């Protein structure tokens, strides 16, 4: 029968929150934002780039048409006087005019780029790169190094990182991807611990300030009400995660499909301009997208374990913090009055997020180890470490400590709560809260 | 007895709230728990509701030591009361009724009866925020009684009620008593005590200073004062009584303890033509003030 009452409380807390507009707004908005963060850069990259036309005056005569190939630039050689050309290129329909001096090999700084508007960084860099390559090649040739040798020195280092498990199984991993995954999980935990913790606190304040509390606790024990509220709000959090995950996957799939077509079209275009580099470009596009980095991590890590650990750290971490938030809510009569106490609960959450910045850089350092063990900081920091791989005993120890931490905090909170909810018109101090711990009955 | 309170003591860190309280509350009666603010009434009520526990002493509810299973048989309307503002009236009452152990279907059917009875049928889907204060009080009252408790505890139930709703509440309380429910009534409004209560107990400074059946308590405090109306001249010296005041053709007399009213009447009619003879029963207001003053003087 007592279980029934707790279930009733859970149900009410859950349903009243899930039916709120704000719940659905945040449930829908976050996946849209995430998708946008991932899709907009691709969209910008995929946007049909205008081919800029550049007029070039090569007084040195070193450049051939084949030296000036770029998928975004079209070069047209010209002749004449720089003084006149620089006034006229815009009216001829060119975006820029490049003048290369006769003595470019001796005076590489003598190259000028003229444009009607401020030219973009990418145009400047592309032009500079093309000119620089040729100049370098010529200088090496003069020094007796053939262009073949030069070509062979142009190696690109792009290492593959591979995780080797104890049974010798190799999977390609990506530390960049692990970082992204760790960052996302740490950030989501940080936001949700604060968000749902304060929701519990506001719920307690609402019951106390509306004075319904005395009616409720004449039907159920205060700890039942507290437990029901915390679990109910926690389930709202889990529901939101579920919606976020499902919607984000759905949206990225849809945008992925949409862009898939675009990528193909784009590649076909590139192919026309530059058939040699085609395969390179394709692999670049494939490898550089953040999602492929993440999916590499997803391949090399134990996904069910990560998800289970995430849910565990969210739920137990949330229970720990929200019980403290509830204790604060019970001691005050309004949200503004609560502010003087909430910092003590928010400080460890913010601190764990700051520590996570170090943990993500160096997940095996001492700081990272301790941050992922101490119950207050462990939820965020352990989730940040997990994608990089954490020994089993550390995970178990951290989880055990978190559960013990939760039990301790909930004991303290329940004792403050049962006194606080019936205390009105009293300015509460820290000393007072301490006394409540030892009140009988 | 529905409720026996025996030697209950409750201490808070800075004061003694209840000092060996003994009370017997009989079944199907309205029991008035009186006392000035801070006397310990709310502490006692919270103990009966098992919101707090006594430091020592015993409480017997319906023949058994009070235990958590009894909360479903008690209805409680606190003095400071409220509702979830964002919830709808019907949903809220359904929730509160289920918290008192009712099944959903049972709660719905009982609630519907109450909605018809109090003429609020169209409120079910109204958010509490939209209700006037009087409407909220009706809602709170339904929440207190819908599970048909054996003991109904009302803490200052009339505070804030307009006269129409107060009358409605009075009628409902009497009807509930008729159905066999005991009502424990905490108040310092003496007119309602006189009107409704069968028994009273007065608490002052954490102790029961007066308890008993209403008329018996009044008899205990009557001072043999009578009011008469007459025709003729009333002499100043009447045998066995003292004239306290004369006002035209009426007077207030205080009788010696030994004289009986028949003798007094025959003494009076030998002088004047008696039209009316009435004993002055002390009001609870007077008793309350007198007892509180007396007990304060002992402190």
Side by side, the strands of the sheet bearing B250-255 are B237-238, B241-247, B250-255, B225-231, B273-279
Q: Is A239 contained in some domain?
A: yes
Separation CA B289–CA B281 (nearest Å): 15
Kindly report the number of other CB atoms within 10 A of residue B48's CB atom: 25
For residues B236-243, average pLDDT = 84
Instruction: For chain B, list the domains and their CATH numbers.
Output: 3-218 (3.40.50.300), 223-279 (no CATH)
CA A14 to chain B, closest CA, distance in angstroms equals 13
What single-letter DSSP state applies at residue A156? P
Q: Are residues A267 and A184 in the same domain?
A: yes
Q: Which residues of A touch B77 (CB under 8 A)?
A: 215
Q: Is A399 contained in some domain?
A: yes
- Supply A250's token pair: 């759905």
Please report which confidence band the pLDDT of residue B137 belongs to, taking 50, 70 and 90 as the band edges: confident
User: What is the SS3 assignment for chain B?
Assistant: CCEEEEEEEEECCCCEEEEEEEEEECCCCEEEEECCCCCCHHHHHHHHCCCCCCCEEEEEECCEECCHHHHHHEEEECCCCCCCCCCEHHHHHHHHHHHCCCCHHHHHHHHHHHHHHCCCHHHCCCEHHHCCHHHHHHHHHHHHHCCCCCEEEEECCCCCCCHHHHHHHHHHHHHHHHCCCEEEEEECCHHHHHHHCCEEEEEECCEEEEEEEHHHHHHHCCCCEEEEEEECCCCCEECCEEEEEEECCEEEEEECCCCCHHHHHHHHHCCCEEEEEEECCCCHHHHHHHHHHHHHHHC
Q: Smallest Cβ distance to B87: which of A16, A217, A219?
A: A16
Q: Is A64 contained in some domain?
A: yes
CA A218 to chain B, closest CA, distance in angstroms equals 6
Q: Are residues A254 and A402 in the same domain?
A: yes
Separation CA A357–CA A376 (nearest Å): 16
Please report which confidence band the pLDDT of residue B3 belongs to, taking 50, 70 and 90 as the band edges: very high
| pLDDT confidence of residue A166 | 59
Q: Is A178 contained in some domain?
A: yes
Q: What's the number of domains chain A is made of?
A: 2
| pLDDT confidence of residue B299 | 62
Kindly state whether B270 is in contact with chain A, defined as any CB-CB distance less than 8 angstroms: no
- Supply B227's token pair: 């009011």
Q: Which residues of B touch A423 (CB under 8 A)?
A: none
Identify the three-state secondary structure at position A145.
coil
Q: Which region holds residue A389: left if phi is over 0, alpha if psi is between -120 and 50, else beta? A: left
pTM score, whole prediction: 0.77
Q: Is A286 contained in some domain?
A: yes
Kindly state whether B38 is in contact with chain A, defined as any CB-CB distance less than 8 angstroms: no
Q: Which of A149, A181, A204 is the last residue of a domain?
A: A149
Q: Are residues A119 and A205 in the same domain?
A: no
Range from A146-155, B27-36, B55-64 carrying the lowest mean pLDDT: A146-155
Rg (CA), chain B: 24
Whole-number Cα distances in Å, B59 to B28, B67, B120, B236: 18, 9, 38, 56
Q: Which residues of B touch A216 (CB under 8 A)?
A: 96, 99
Beta bridge partners of B207: B204
Q: Which residues of B touch A441 (CB under 8 A)?
A: 52-55
* Direct distance between the N- and C-terminal alpha carbons of chain B, in angstroms, rounded to an integer: 32
Kindly state whether B86 is in contact with chain A, defined as any CB-CB distance less than 8 angstroms: yes
The reply to whether residue B71 touches residue A219, judged by beta carbons under 8 angstroms, is yes
Q: At what angle do helices A175-209 and A378-385 cross, to 10 degrees?
A: 160
Q: Which of A149, A164, A195 is the last residue of a domain?
A: A149
Residues spanned by the domain of A256: 173-436
The reply to whether residue A424 touches residue B80, judged by beta carbons under 8 angstroms, is yes
Residue B49 CA, chain-centre distance (Å), reads: 17
Q: Is A38 contained in some domain?
A: no
Q: Which residues of A touch B74 (CB under 8 A)?
A: 218
Q: Which residues contact B170 (CB under 8 A, 6 or more apart)?
A: B192, B195, B196
Say if CB A314 and CB A237 are below 8 A apart: yes
The reply to whether residue B82 touches residue A211, judged by beta carbons under 8 angstroms, is yes
| pLDDT confidence of residue A370 | 92
Q: Residue A330: which of A320, A317, A318, A342 has the closest Cα?
A: A342
Q: Is A18 contained in some domain?
A: no
Q: Which residues of B touch A218 (CB under 8 A)?
A: 49-51, 71, 74, 76, 78
Q: Are residues A201 and A130 in the same domain?
A: no
Q: Residue A56: which of A142, A131, A145 has the closest Cα?
A: A131
Kindly report the number of other CB atoms within 10 A of residue A130's CB atom: 20
Flag residues of chain A having pLDDT under 70: 1-3, 42, 45-50, 118-119, 156, 158-176, 259-301, 440-441
Q: Smallest Cβ distance to B76: which of A218, A424, A440?
A: A218
Q: Which residue matches tokens 């137990």?
A: A316
Q: Are residues A331 and A272 in the same domain?
A: yes
- Which chain A residues touch B if contact means CB-CB below 8 Å? 1-2, 5, 8-9, 12, 16, 206-207, 210-212, 214-221, 422, 424, 435, 439-441
Identify the three-state secondary structure at position A58.
strand
Q: Residue A348: which of A377, A326, A327, A375 has the closest Cα?
A: A377
Kindly state whether B81 is in contact with chain A, defined as any CB-CB distance less than 8 angstroms: yes
For residues B245-272, average pLDDT = 86
Q: Which residues of A touch B82 (CB under 8 A)?
A: 210-212, 215
CA A200 to chain B, closest CA, distance in angstroms equals 15
Q: Are residues A363 and A265 in the same domain?
A: yes
CA B101 to chain A, closest CA, distance in angstroms equals 8
Q: Which residue matches tokens 């040699």?
A: A276
In degrees to the nearest 10, what's the CA dihedral of B263, B264, B267, B268?
Answer: -150
Q: What are phi and psi of A184, to 5 degrees?
A: -60, -50
Beta bridge partners of B3: B25, B61
| pLDDT confidence of residue B61 | 93
Kindly state whether B224 is in contact with chain A, defined as any CB-CB distance less than 8 angstroms: no
Interface with B, mutate which of A214, A217, A426 (most B CBs under 10 A): A214
Q: Are residues A392 and A321 in the same domain?
A: yes
Separation CA A4–CA A12 (nearest Å): 12
Q: Which of A149, A164, A188 is the last residue of a domain?
A: A149
Q: Is A293 contained in some domain?
A: yes
Say if CB A248 and CB A35 are below 8 A apart: yes
The reply to whether residue A5 touches residue B99, judged by beta carbons under 8 angstroms, is yes
Say if CB A96 and CB A113 are below 8 A apart: yes
Give the total residue count for chain B.
299
| pLDDT confidence of residue A284 | 46
The CATH number given to whatever domain includes residue A97 is 3.40.190.10
Q: For residue A220, with 0-12 CB atoms within 10 Å meaning exposed, 13-18 middle and 19 or more buried, which class applies?
A: buried
Q: Which residues of A touch B81 (CB under 8 A)?
A: 211-212, 214-215
What single-letter DSSP state applies at residue A70? B
Identify the three-state secondary structure at position A81.
coil
Q: Are residues A229 and A116 in the same domain?
A: no
CA B142 to chain A, closest CA, distance in angstroms equals 12
Q: What are phi and psi of B203, to 5 degrees?
A: -110, 130
| pLDDT confidence of residue A349 | 92
Q: Are residues A217 and A309 in the same domain?
A: yes
- Supply B1's token pair: 């007895």
Q: Are residues A66 and A205 in the same domain?
A: no
Q: Are residues A371 and A229 in the same domain?
A: yes
Please report which confidence band the pLDDT of residue B153 belongs to, taking 50, 70 and 90 as the band edges: very high
A158-171: pLDDT as tens digits: 666 666 655 555 55
C-alpha angle B233-B236-B237 in degrees, rounded to nearest 5: 120
Q: Which residues contact A282 (CB under 8 A, 6 or more apart)?
A: A267
Q: Are residues A130 and A214 in the same domain?
A: no
């Amino acid at each position: 029968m007592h279980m029934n009452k707790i279930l009733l409380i859970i149900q009410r807390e859950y349903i009243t929150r899930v039916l709120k507009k704000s719940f659905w707004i945040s449930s829908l908005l976050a996946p849209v934002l995430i998708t946008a963060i991932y899709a907009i850069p691709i969209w910008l990259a995929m946007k049909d780039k205008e081919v800029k036309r550049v007029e070039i005056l090569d007084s040195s005569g070193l450049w051939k048409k084949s030296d000036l190939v770029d998928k975004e630039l079209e070069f047209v050689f010209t002749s004449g006087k720089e003084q006149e050309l620089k006034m006229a290129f815009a009216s001829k329909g060119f975006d820029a005019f490049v003048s290369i001096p006769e003595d470019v090999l001796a005076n590489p700084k003598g190259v000028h780029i003229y444009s009607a508007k401020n030219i973009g960084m990418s145009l400047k860099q592309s032009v500079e790169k093309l000119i620089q390559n040729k100049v370098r090649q010529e200088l090496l040739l003069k020094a007796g190094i053939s262009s073949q040798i030069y070509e062979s020195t142009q190696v690109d280092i792009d290492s593959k990182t591979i995780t080797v498990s104890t049974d010798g199984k190799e999977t390609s991993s990506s530390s960049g991807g692990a970082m992204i995954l760790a960052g996302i999980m740490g950030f989501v935990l940080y936001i949700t611990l604060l968000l749902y913790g304060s929701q519990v606190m506001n719920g307690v304040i609402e019951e106390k300030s509306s004075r319904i509390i005395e009616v409720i606790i004449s039907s159920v024990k205060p700890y039942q009400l507290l437990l029901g509220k915390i679990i109910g709000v926690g389930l709202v959090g889990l529901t939101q995660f579920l919606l976020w995950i499902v919607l984000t996957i759905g949206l990225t799939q849809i945008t992925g499909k949409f862009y898939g077509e675009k990528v193909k079209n784009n590649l076909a275009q590139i192919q026309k301009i530059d058939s040699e580099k085609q395969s390179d470009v394709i692999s670049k596009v494939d490898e550089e997208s953040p999602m492929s980095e993440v999916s590499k991590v997803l391949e090399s890590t134990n996904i069910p374990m990560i998800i289970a650990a995430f849910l565990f750290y969210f739920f137990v971490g949330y229970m720990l913090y929200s019980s403290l938030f509830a204790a604060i809510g019970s001691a005050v009569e309004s949200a503004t009055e609560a502010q003087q106490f909430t910092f003590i609960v928010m400080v460890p959450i913010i601190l764990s997020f700051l520590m996570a910045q170090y943990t993500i850089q160096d997940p095996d350092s001492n700081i990272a180890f301790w941050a992922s063990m101490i119950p207050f900081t462990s939820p965020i920091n352990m989730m940040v470490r997990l994608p990089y791989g954490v020994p089993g005993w550390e995970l178990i120890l951290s989880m055990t400590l978190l559960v013990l931490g939760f039990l301790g905090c909930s004991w303290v909170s329940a004792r403050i709560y049962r006194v606080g909810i019936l205390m009105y018109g009293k300015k509460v101090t820290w000393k007072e809260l301490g006394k409540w711990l030892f009140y009988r009955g | 007895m529905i409720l026996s309170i025996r030697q209950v003591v409750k201490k808070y860190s800075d004061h003694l709230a209840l000092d060996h309280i003994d009370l017997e509350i009989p079944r199907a009666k309205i029991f008035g728990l009186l006392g000035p603010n801070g006397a310990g009434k709310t502490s006692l009520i919270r103990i009966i509701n098992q919101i707090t526990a006594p430091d020592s002493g015993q409480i017997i509810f319906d023949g058994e030591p009070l235990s958590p299973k009894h909360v479903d048989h008690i209805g409680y309307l606190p003095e400071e009361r409220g509702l979830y503002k964002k919830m709808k009236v019907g949903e809220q009452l359904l929730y509160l009724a289920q918290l008192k152990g009712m099944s959903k279907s049972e709660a719905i059917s009982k609630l519907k009866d109450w909605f018809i009875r109090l003429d609020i049928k169209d409120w079910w889907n109204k958010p509490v925020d939209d209700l006037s204060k009087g409407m909220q009080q009706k809602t709170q009252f339904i929440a207190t009684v819908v599970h048909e408790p054996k003991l109904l505890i009302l803490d200052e139930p009339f505070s804030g009620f307009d006269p129409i709703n107060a009358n409605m509440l009075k009628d409902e309380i009497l009807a509930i008593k008729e159905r066999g429910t005991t009502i424990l009534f905490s108040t310092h409004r003496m007119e309602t005590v006189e009107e409704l209560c069968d028994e009273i107990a007065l608490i002052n400074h954490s102790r029961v200073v007066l308890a008993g059946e209403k008329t018996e308590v009044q008899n205990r405090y009557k001072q043999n004062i009578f009011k008469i109306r007459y025709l003729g001249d009333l002499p100043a010296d009447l045998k066995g009584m003292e004239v306290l005041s004369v006002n035209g053709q009426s007077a207030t007399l205080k009788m010696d303890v030994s004289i009986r009213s028949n003798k007094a009447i025959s003494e009076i009619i030998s002088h004047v033509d008696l039209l009316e003879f009435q004993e002055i029963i002390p009001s609870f207001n007077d008793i309350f003030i007198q007892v509180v003053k007396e007990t304060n003087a002992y402190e």
